Amino acid sequence: MGASQFKSEYYNEYKEYLFNLGEDNSETRSFLLRNLERALREEVTDRQWQLMQMYYVDQKGMPEIADELEVNISTVSRTLKRGRGRLRRCLRYGARELLTA
């Protein structure tokens, strides 16, 4: 048996071992995503939500968002920063409430 064949054999065994070791976390992931959506709805302003949607979901750049909404790029930047801050505070200090639903 050559060295590469030896490594390949153990690699495949290790890969199978890791696969069997892992757990299905889809239920936990769904639960956390629902709570993130709830935090976004309850804690972030409508304008912050709009800009976060454009920036993160639609993957538009700040200059593009600023042009589309006819605002200064610094307004876009500040609004995104404030939205992230509100969301961070909510998840840091209010997560217990969200995780009980």
Residue 71: is it exposed, middle or buried by C-beta count within 10 angstroms (0-12/13-18/19+)? middle
Q: Could you read off the pLDDT of 21-54 as tens digits, one per residue?
A: 667 777 777 777 777 777 777 888 999 999 999 9
Q: Could you read off the pLDDT of 50-92 as tens digits, one per residue?
A: 999 999 889 999 999 999 999 999 999 999 999 988 888 776 7
Q: What CATH number belongs to 3-99?
A: 1.10.10.10
* CA dihedral sign, ordered 92, 89, 83, 100: positive
